[in-house]
Amino acid sequence: MSISCFVCALALVASSASISPAQESARLAQDPAVKAALDAAKRNEPHFLDEQIRICEIPAPPFHEDARGRELERLFRQMGLQNVRIDKAGNVIGVRPGAAVHPNLLFQAHLDTVFPPETNVKVTREGDVLKGPGIGDDCRGLAMMLGVIQALNDAKVQTPGTITFVADTGEEGLGDLRGTKNLFNETLKGQIDKFVSVDGTGLGITNVGVGSYRYRATFKGPGGHSFGAFGMANPIQAMGRAIAKIDSFEVPSSPKTTFNVGRVGGGTSVNAIPFECWMEVDMRSSDKDSLETLHGKYNAAVQQAVEEENKRWNGRSPVSVDNALVGYRPAGITPADSPIVLAAIAVTKLFGAPGALREGSTDSNVPMNLGIPAVTIGSGGAGSGAHSLNETFNTKDSWLGTQRGLLLAVTLAR
């Protein structure tokens, strides 16, 4: 028996002998320091609901999260996080060191909203209900994260591993997860062992990251008179061939894999061969390989359509295509029986929620795609109308979300 195999065997014995995630989280919840932190989280909740409103009233439109980011940077410093900085993608980073550098848990919420700069971001409060664009998604996540940091500080909780807190950029729409991509590809490359993002409300757990490709394909030709110039290749007709091919794609129903031609446009007049047209296409899957296969099929279909169109018109005034990738969210799954998911379920159940698992498209897609254990959790309370101007957040028992997040962070930072 070689030494390495002896180590393997030992590890196996240790794993089998170790207590379950449910037992571990239940034990931690009774640890005096952690218990004190959970109490602090509940006690501090009214303050962090005020902070949630204040943060929400600092606009953070897509690609313009800097003002809100600077406020988070100030708060991170004020709360004593270490090495506080803003990276080139606009992510605000602060470290709460543990006894060791590893395991290093990245715990984050996103700064950006879907709302354009001119949006009125004033928040109103009526009874338990806060109303304002972004109040739940993800100002609640940011405030809940701050509540976790403050409670850990108040109770002087010392974790065996490190927790790196981040307020990240570009989670929404065309932001295309650029903040989190930059964290894993550059700023914190190779340094993160586990990942939790706080996004949305309630006590849900997302362990499947639905990936997507988004394209805008523009077909071009010289154009001309429909009668006089007849015989030229036609960009709209090339695009029609591409769409017909896409429509015939076969995709697996499990893991769910989808495609959609969502928008088209182009042409100037019914009696003119168009010089330009375009289509926007969306493809999704929670399975990396299925998504890559579909991506390949799509690219081939667009090229084939153009070739067929040019051949059909004998190469006269050929059409070309600019097939632009305008969005990419990598797909990934953190297995339902992995330690991080089991821990999330166990912790969630301690707070009376079912701990059911969901699919979604969030910052977790990035680490999931890299094989790094990751989940996205809700931030407590109850939300409605996310991505609308009528977004609300119901604060009733929202402290449970902060406590759940805190206990999960402490469970994973070891």
Q: What does the binding site for a second copy look like in residue numbers (CB under 8 A)? A: 210, 214, 216, 226-227, 230, 234, 236-244, 246-248, 256, 258-274, 277, 279-282, 284, 309, 312, 326-327
Ramachandran assignment for 202, one of left (phi > 0), alpha (psi -120 to 50 degrees), beta (any other): left
Q: Facing residues of 323 across strands?
A: 217
Q: How many helices (H) and strands (E) does the chain have?
A: 11, 19
- 3-state SS class at 159: coil
DSSP structure class, residue 225: E
Nearer to a second copy, 163 or 277 (CB): 277
Q: Which residues contact 293 (CB under 8 A, 6 or more apart)?
A: none
Q: Which two tokens stand for residue 371?
A: 């094989």
Cα 147–Cα 152–Cα 155 angle in degrees, nearest 5: 120
Nearer to a second copy, 33 or 326 (CB): 326
- Check if the beta carbon of residue 200 is closer than 8 Å to that of residue 137: yes
Annotate 51-90 with b (16+ C-beta within 10 A) or e (fewer): bbbebbbbbbbbebbeebbebbbebbeebebeebebbebb
